[in-house]
Structure 1
Amino acid sequence: MRFNPKADISGGRVTDVRGGGGARAGGMGNIPIGGITGGGIGTTIIVLIFFVIVQFGGGGASGGGGPVETTDRYEQCQTGADANESVDCARRAVAVSLENYWAQELPQQTGIQFRPTEIFTFSGATTTGCGAASADVGPFYCPTDERIYLDTTFFDDVLEGQLGGQGGDFVEPYVIGHEYGHHIQNLMGTMGKVRTQQGPTSDSVRLELQADCYAGMWTRGATGTTDSKGIKIFAAIDQGDIDEALDAAKTVGDDRIQQAGGGDVNKEQWTHGSSAERMRWFTTGYNATSIEDCDTFSASSL
C-alpha cells in the first residue's frame, strides 16, 4: 500500500480524543473474545434495543463518562507523503478515500444522500453517543452519533497478539472500511432489518458480512479515489494488501475466535460469520459490479 505523495489528506475526518473515562465496557477484556454477544470485527450489540452499537470487538458500551478533549495527533498529516511515513497519517488518508468513494457510489447506486462519518481515535476510554467505551471494546461504529471509534492498540494487542493475525499495513484500512460499511448500512436503513442476534444465518451475521462486502468494494475502488483537487490518493494497492485484509477477516471469524478461546465451535452463538464467510464476502465486494452484489439479507447461502 502506497499513497500518492502529492495527495492532500488534510481533510480526512479523523480526530483523536483524550479523557472521558467512566463505566468500563465489557468484551475485549474478557479474552477469549467471544461470549453470547460474539467477538471480532463488527459485532452487533443489539440484544434488546437495536440502535446501541455496532463494533469490531465483542462487548457493548454502557454508562456515561466525563468530558473529552481533542489532541493534535493528526495536525502534521497533510499529504500522501506524510501518509507513507506515518500510520496516523495513513489513517487520515484512508478516511479521505472512503469518504470520496462512498460520496459517489452511494447516491449513484441507491439514490440515497450521503453524509460522512468521522473516525475518533482514543486510548484508555472515551465517551460516545452509545455510552462509555474502553480499550476493551475494540473498533466500533455508533449509529447514534454516526461515528467510528478506534483504539489503535487493538491491532497489535488483540488482532495479532491474542488472535494470531499476520498483521500488515492494510489490516487497519480493512477494519476502517468495515466500520464505514456499517455507516453506509445506517444511511441505507439496513440496520432496521436486524431482528435475530445469534446463529449462523442470523440477521446480525448478515449485517456483519455485508459490512465486509462493502469494505471489499471500497478496496477495489480505492485507487480511483481522489482528494478535493482531483489528485489520486493511493499510488498502489497490491495483492499483498488484499492478502492482509483476507487474513484479518479470517482471524476474526466467529469459529476462529471460539477456537482461540479454547472452546468448541458453536454456530448458534455466532454474530459475525465464520472465517471462510468473512473472507468470501470481502472477496465478493472486491469483485462486485453493483452494491446489490452485497445483499447478504437476500442470500440463500452465506
Structure 2
Amino acid sequence: MRARVPGLVVGLMLSTALVACTTTVPGEPISQGRVIKEETTPGGVDPAGIVENTDGGEIDRLAATVVEDLKVYWGGVFPEVFDKEFTDLKGGYYSVDTADAESPKPPCTDSADEVEGNAFYCPTADVIAWDRAALLPVLKDRFGEAGVMLVLAHEVGHAVQNRTGAGLAERRAEPDRFPTILIEAMADCYAGGFIRWVVDGNAERLQMRPDQLDAALAAMISFRDPVGTEASDRGAHGDAFDRASAFLDGYESGARLCSEMTVDNRTFTLSGFIDAGDQARGGNIRFEEIVESITALLDPFFAEVAGESWRTPQLREIQDEPSCTRPQGPVAFCPDGSAIEVDVSAELPGIHAEIGDYATGTLVAGRYALASLAAAGEPLSGPDAQRSAVCLTGAFTASLFEREQRFLSPGDMDEAVQVLLKYDYVARDVDGGAVESGFERVSLFRQGFAEGAREC
C-alpha cells in the first residue's frame, strides 16, 4: 500500500509456440486428499495409450485420470457453448521426466530441460506436456491432488481456446484484442467450470469435496505474477485477485461466461510500480504506518455506507489479545461501538511481515465493516454478519481503485487474497464465529469488490 500524506504458474510465459503456466511460488501445504474415486477407478487410469512417454507411475495415473474426465466434461459442454463437437488433442498428452538427462524431449521444445517445473499447451502441435518429476509431485505435496487437477484443467482450457477463435493465429493477428492476461484469465475460468462439475458429482472418475476448494484456489494463486508486473506485459497472467476472480467466474457461472471474456468487459488489478520509492519498498509500508494510513481511508468510506448513524470508533493499540469482546483475532470491534482494538504485540505484525501491508489493512477493514453493521442496526453475530463483513471489505478495497490518487500498490491484491484464504479473521463476527471456507471468503470479497457495498 502507498503511504498516505498525514492530513489527507507458476511464473507464466507466452511464446508463439507454447503457453507454459506453472512455476509455483513457495508456500505452506494447505490440504491433502484424494480426488480419484477408488470405487470406480481403483488407483487411477492406466496412462498407457493416453500419455506419451509415461512411466506408468502414480503421478501419470493421476494425470491420465484427470485427462479422461476432462474429455468427458468438454465433450458435453463444448457443443452447448460453441455449437460444435469437441475434438481431442491431435498431439496428445506428454509426460516428461526432467530428472533424467536422457529423457526424450516433448514437442515444441529443444530439450526436456525446458519443461522443468512446468506444464504447457503448445498450439502448433496441439499437445499438452508436464513435468512429472519437478512439477506435478510438488503440486500434489503442497495442495493435494486438487492442485494437479487444477493445472491440467487450465492447460486444456488453452486447447479449448485454440478451437474457438482465441488461439495462436488470432493472438498473432490481433494482439491487442487477445493479450496474454486475457488468454490466461479465460483458461483459469474454464478450469473453474470443470472443477465445479467435479464438485457437483458429475465426474465418473474424479471427486472433490467442498473443503478441498481452498487447496485448488491456493494452487491457482501460487501461479500469480511477480509483484510489479504490468498487465500489458507480454507474459502477464494476473495477480492473485485476477486469477481467483477468473476461476470463480467459471466455478459460479460456467464455460459460456468464460468464452465471452474480452478486454472490454474484463478489469484486471495487476499493475506495475508508479514510482521508485514504492518499488524499493516492494509495495509495502512499515507496520507502524499502515494502521494510521488505512483508518484515514476507512472512516469516510464506512461513514458513507452507514449514513448519519455512523460513529467513528476509537482506535486502541493494545499489547495483548483484545479484551472488549470474544475472540475476533488480532483486530477486534467492541460490540458497544466505542472502539476497535488492535493487538500490536505479536500476531498482527507477524501477519504483516509474512504476507504484506494490505493483509493488515484487510483485517482492519473487516472490523470497520462490523462497525458499519452496528451503526445500521444490523446483527453483529451469525452467518449474515460474517458474510457481510467480508463483502464490505471487498467493497472498501474497490473504492481505493476508484480514487484519483492511487493508494493500493502492486501486490496489495495478492495480500488480500492470501490473508482471506489463510485466516478467517475478516469473516469473524463479535462472538468469534466465522465463514470457515477460505474459498467462500475470497468469493465474498470479490462480490463486494465487483458489486459494491449495497450488495453486501
Length-normalised TM-score, structure 2 = 0.43
Deviations 1:257-290 (CA, angstroms, capped at 9, x unpaired):
x25xxxx555553521111111111111011145
- 5 Å-filtered alignment, 1:28-107, equals 40=10, 43-46=13-16, 52-57=17-22, 80-83=41-44, 86-107=58-79
Residue 247 of structure 1, CA deviation = 0.6
Q: Does 1:168 pair with 2:144?
A: yes
1:43 maps to a residue whose letter is M
Superposition map of 1:258-273 within 5 A: 258-259=226-227, 264-269=228-233, 271-273=236-238
Task: Give unmatched runs, 5+ long, in structure 2.
Answer: 1-8, 24-37, 46-56, 269-456
Q: Contact 2:59–2:137 at 8 Å: present in 1 too? A: no
Q: For residues 165 and 232 of structure 2, what CA distance do their matches in structure 1 show?
A: 26
Q: Tell me whether 1:142 sits opposite 2:122 in the alignment.
A: yes
Distance 1:136 1:129, change over 3 A: closer
Distance 1:151 1:237, change over 3 A: same
- Whichever residue aligns with residue 276 of structure 1, its letter is F
Distance 2:108 2:223 in 1: 23
1:50-87 Cα shifts (integer Å, max 9, x gaps) = xx1111157xxxxxxxxxxxxxxxxxx9x611129943
> CA-to-partner distance for each residue in 1:20-65, whole Å, 9 max, x for gaps?
xxxxxxxxxxxxxxxxxxx62653213xxxxx1111157xxxxxxx
Alpha carbons of structure 1 residues 136 and 291: separation in structure 2 relative to 1, 3 Å: same
Counterpart position of 1:301: 267
**2:237 counterpart of 1:237:** no
Contact 1:216 1:283 in 2 (8 A): yes
Greater radius of gyration (CA): 2
The answer to whether residue 114 in structure 2 is matched with residue 153 in structure 1 is: no
Q: Which one has the bigger helix percentage?
A: 2
Taking a change above 3 Å as real, the CA distance of residues 154 and 296 of structure 1, as seen in their structure-2 partners, is farther
Of structures 1 and 2, the one with the larger relative CO (CA 8 A, separation 6+) is 1
Distance 1:97 1:156, change over 3 A: closer
Please tell me whether the aligned partners of residues 42 and 178 of structure 1 are also in contact (alpha carbons under 8 angstroms).
Answer: no
- Alignment check: 8 A CA contact 1:140 1:149 kept: yes
Question: Deviation of residue 159 (structure 1)?
Answer: 6.1
1:116 positional shift? 0.9
Matches within 5 A, 1:216-235: 216-222=192-198, 224-225=201-202, 232-234=204-206
Per-residue CA deviations over 1:214-249 (Å, capped at 9, x if unaligned) read 0111111135555xxxxx223x31123221121111
Structure-2 separation of matches of 1:272 and 1:104: 28
State how many pairs are aligned. Answer: 223
- 3-state SS of 1:93 partner: helix
Contact 1:198 1:268 (C-alpha < 8 Å) held by counterparts: no
Cα separation, 2, equivalents of 1:265 and 1:289: 29
Q: Please list every run of 5 or more consecutive structure 1 residues that lacks an aligned counterpart in the other structure.
A: 1-38, 47-51, 59-76, 227-231
Instruction: State whether structure 2 residue 102 is matched by structure 1 residue 109.
Output: no
- Aligned to 1:190, the other structure's residue is in SS state coil
CA distance in 2, matches of 1:114, 1:282: 22
Shift of the 293–95 alpha-carbon distance from structure 1 to 2, 3 Å rule, reads closer
Q: 1:293 to 1:188 in 2, by over 3 A?
A: closer
Q: Report the Cα offset of residue 210 of structure 1.
A: 0.4
Q: TM-score, normalised by structure 1?
A: 0.63
- Does the CA contact (< 8 Å) of 1:99 and 1:116 recur in 2? yes
1:276 corresponds, among 241, 250, 258, to: 241
In structure 1, distance between residues paired with 2:137 and 2:175: 27
Deviations 1:178-206 (A, max 9, x none): 0000000011121244259999x971100
What code does the residue aligned with 2:62 have?
Answer: A
| 1:292 maps onto 2:257 in alignment | yes
Q: In structure 2, what is the equivalent of residue 121 of structure 1? A: 95
Aligned in 2, Cα 1:82/1:100: closer, same or farther, shift over 3 Å?
A: same
Q: Is the 8 A contact 2:22 2:151 kept in 1?
A: no
One-letter code aligned to 1:119: Y
* Partner Cα distance (1:277, 1:94) in 2: 25
Query: What is the one-letter code of the residue matched to 1:81?
Result: P
Determine if the alignment matches structure 1 residue 131 to structure 2 residue 115. no
Alignment-derived partner of residue 205 in structure 1: 181
Matched residue of 1:81: which SS?
Answer: coil
- What is the alpha-carbon distance in structure 2 between the residues aligned to residue 241 and residue 177 of structure 1? 16
Report the Cα distance in structure 2 between the residues aligned to 1:158 and 1:104, rounded to whole angstroms: 31
Aligned partner of residue 189 in structure 1, secondary structure? coil
More strand per residue: 1 or 2? 1
Structure 1 vs Structure 2: percent identity of aligned residues?
A: 23
Cα distance in 1 for partners of 2:221, 2:175 equals 19
CA RMSD of aligned residues (A): 3.3
- Report the secondary structure of 2:42's partner residue: helix
CA deviation string 1:115-152 (max 9, x = no partner) = 11222101135434423243443100111121100012
User: In 2 relative to 1, CA 218–119 (structure 1 residues): closer, same or farther, beyond 3 Å?
Assistant: same
Within the candidate set 214, 221, 226, 1:250 is matched to 221
